[in-house]
Structure 1
Amino acid sequence: MRYEIDASLIKLLLPDIVLAEDGLARLDERAQRSSVAQGFAERGHFFDAVGAMWVAGELVHVEDLVLHDAHMDSRAPSHELTIAHAILRARRRMWTSDANWSLTRAGLAVLSGAAGYEQEIPRAGVAKTKDDEDTDALLSAELAEIDAVLERSTRLLDEHLGKPVLDQSPKPAPSKAGGDPMGLFDDEEWDEASRLHEWCRLIPLADTMPCVLGAALLFEGWEKIEPLRRQHWLGGLLVSSYLRARGKVTSHLFSFHAGLRAVRHELRRAKDRRTRLQAFLQGMTESAALGLKEMDRLSLAHTQMELRFKDRRSNSSLPELADFILSRPIVSSAMVAKELGVTSRGALNLLNDIGVREITGRGRYRAWGII
């Protein structure tokens, strides 16, 4: 498939390009000078993760994602919730790294979980020492020697009994990815490395276009090439990272999926290329509009909470609680107690003092948030 966009198609897409460019510029400018920018950026990670699952056809509640992220699940997490949390962690990793990191070879290898990455970065608490590696090597050598003795014994018995001796020499097995040694998940005919390389070749082409059109082109290419079938959600995150790398949205990591979920599936999957690109551009415009509305609500809530603690003593925990409430879609008393280092009773008193609305109305489980 050819991904070049001719002048006639750009002319047809021009109104959508202008709307998307204007919306993203307004959102970035507002977020850069807003007092709730940090909380807005943190909340965006949660809503974009839920939106990515929605676009993929899965329903994950943002409340469950918040509790799972805080390790306070009320039940065992579902498979969809685990994927949503992986999206959340990937967005945080992108945001804390350099703007261009996720589009580099090293960044893509980390985000896609390519073979060899887990060996490069040992996991906390399970790192192998040199003594452990030496012990494993000795054990492997002894087991190989035992296998060789058994093979020779079997061959001699077959010769003594007159049975035909079969060639049992080991045949080289096809190489598997480091995370899938048995080949249970990876398809040998689906070369993810070459597909990912093919998608990366679109980045120089996207750089020659306006920011939003280049981002739409990259997302269209990701949908068509499908480099990572088990991490298809990564395409939208890379689009957000691309907008940040181009300098279009630098105040936060843009929540592309949050607005894309508002675009109908028939438009996102249309056969006509113009319709698809328009759908992706409309998704960016919708995300920008939702971001501005969210910032209005957070600013109003922050102003109301400030009235509660502006005359309090300097060591009051209410300002820190306000920042924490702004950074999460919901909070529970246990989350507040863990974040502020207070008791459960103290957390409830702080929540009552700051005046945030309770959104559950349950006796056994209570949660608060900004509506």
Structure 2
Amino acid sequence: MVYDIGKLTHETLLGPIAAAEDALARLDERVARSEVGAGFAERADFFDSVSSMWIGGELVHLEDLVLHDAQMDIRAPSHELVIAHRIVRARRRVSRNDPGWAVSRSGIMALAGVAEETSVEAEPVDRGGEGVELDLIHHEPLSPELAEIDDVLARTQWLVDGNAAVEQKKREPAYSIGELLIRDPDWDEGERIGEWLELAKKVERLPATLAAAVLWDAWEHLEPLQRQHWLGLLLVSDYLRLRGKVRSHLLTFAVGLREIPRERRRARDRTSRLVAYLDAMSAAAAAGMKDIDRLALAKRQLERKALDKRSTSSLPVAIDLFLSRPIVSAHMVAKTARITSRGALNLISELGVREITGRGRYRAWGIL
């Protein structure tokens, strides 16, 4: 399966490209200079994870994801919730690494949890008419006699291990029946990842936003990974960081895609799909601008309530927590500020943050 860039309709793409480039540049500058930029980036991980699961057809509640991340689950975590939390952890890992780390074979394998195949280099040794074999064991010989014995033992062990491995391979099937239900044995993930990485080199001549849209369309077409399709959204965001379009944070590309109707995202015409992806970047930037404005206003209002407090007050700690999490529980405040649950409830009441759940138990507050 090969993805061909082909000829792009620049007349149709120029407008969305310009809008996406401008929107992302404005958002990047705003986040870099804002006093709530760090909190915005942390909140973005949760929003993007929930949106990514929504695009894949799964529903994960934001409240459950935040509580699961804080190891305060109110029920046994579902399979979808575990995957959503894996997306959050993957975004944090990409953010900690250098731009472009994820857009590499080693980065993709590490994020997907797939061990790369490593080959052990062995030096071929001629055994004098007995064929060329691999000298797998290197010992410093104590004497010529002992060296000869070690050589015979090494050859014998190598032959025994080789024959045993062959017999075991004949007896055991390559895939079990259960694994065949979730894995396609003909699905060559390494080859497909290689094709996608080759495409990433070819699109360097294109504008950053258009190149990212092409890479996401190619990921949808090639489907390099069988069970971690969500990773493509993360790679596109890191690619924009690599190209210098969004340096201050990791773009919430899934949040923008969620605003685009499915008919546009799944259109048969590739140009229509690319326009939809570019509009998704603009939508993600617009949502980010609104969120950072909301956080900046909330920070100023909360800090006013912390004025004239003693230097040992836990209010600043609680404020930072509210700015970095979409939803906060009393236990999360107590754990972060190292106070009692009753003291955490008093802090929340003093800050006057809006309650989200409205329940008697497992109450939560947040800035939404």
State the TM-score, normalized to the length of structure 1.
Answer: 0.82
2:236 corresponding residue in structure 1: 239
2:312 corresponding residue in structure 1: 315
Letter in 1 for 2:44: G
Distance 1:288 1:169, change over 3 A: closer
Asked if the contact 2:3–2:221 (Cα under 8 Å) also holds between the matched residues in 1, the reply is no
1:42 corresponding residue in structure 2: 42
Letter in 1 for 2:337: L
CA deviation digits over 1:287-309, x for unaligned, max 9? Answer: 00000000111011001001011
Distance 1:181 1:116 in 2: 23
1:357 corresponding residue in structure 2: 354
1:184 Cα offset (Å): 5.6
Asked if the contact 1:20–1:284 (Cα under 8 Å) also holds between the matched residues in 2, the reply is yes
Asked if the contact 1:255–1:287 (Cα under 8 Å) also holds between the matched residues in 2, the reply is yes
1:95 corresponding residue in structure 2: 95
Does residue 323 of structure 2 align to residue 326 of structure 1? yes
Does residue 84 of structure 2 align to residue 84 of structure 1? yes
Distance 2:22 2:175 in 1: 47
* Secondary structure of residue in 2 paired with 1:85: helix
Distance 1:2 1:45 in 2: 30
State the TM-score, normalized to the length of structure 2.
Answer: 0.83
Does residue 170 of structure 2 align to residue 171 of structure 1? yes
* Secondary structure of residue in 1 paired with 2:102: helix
1:170 Cα offset (Å): 6.5
Asked if the contact 2:265–2:277 (Cα under 8 Å) also holds between the matched residues in 1, the reply is yes
1:273 corresponding residue in structure 2: 270
CA deviation digits over 1:237-279, x for unaligned, max 9? Answer: 1000001111110111100001101111111111101110011
Asked if the contact 2:105–2:193 (Cα under 8 Å) also holds between the matched residues in 1, the reply is no
Distance 1:181 1:106 in 2: 28
Letter in 2 for 1:6: K
* Secondary structure of residue in 2 paired with 1:204: helix
Letter in 1 for 2:290: K
Alpha carbon RMSD of aligned pairs, Å? 2.3
1:360 Cα offset (Å): 1.9
CA deviation digits over 1:1-58, x for unaligned, max 9? Answer: 5532536x12210000011001101100110110100110000000000000111111
Distance 1:228 1:174 in 2: 22
2:104 corresponding residue in structure 1: 104
1:218 Cα offset (Å): 0.4
Distance 2:314 2:168 in 1: 71
Distance 1:86 1:201 in 2: 27
1:78 Cα offset (Å): 1.2
Does residue 19 of structure 2 align to residue 19 of structure 1? yes
Q: Any stretches of 5+ residues in structure 1 without a counterpart?
A: 118-143, 149-167
Does residue 291 of structure 2 align to residue 294 of structure 1? yes
* Secondary structure of residue in 2 paired with 1:313: coil
Asked if the contact 1:3–1:217 (Cα under 8 Å) also holds between the matched residues in 2, the reply is no
Q: What are the equivalent positions in structure 2 for 1:1-371 lying under 5 Å apart?
A: 1-6=2-7, 9-115=9-115, 171=170, 173=172, 185-371=182-368
Higher deviation after alignment, 328-337 or 361-370? 361-370
1:169 Cα offset (Å): 8.3
Asked if the contact 2:212–2:240 (Cα under 8 Å) also holds between the matched residues in 1, the reply is yes
1:129 corresponding residue in structure 2: none
Distance 1:189 1:80 in 2: 26
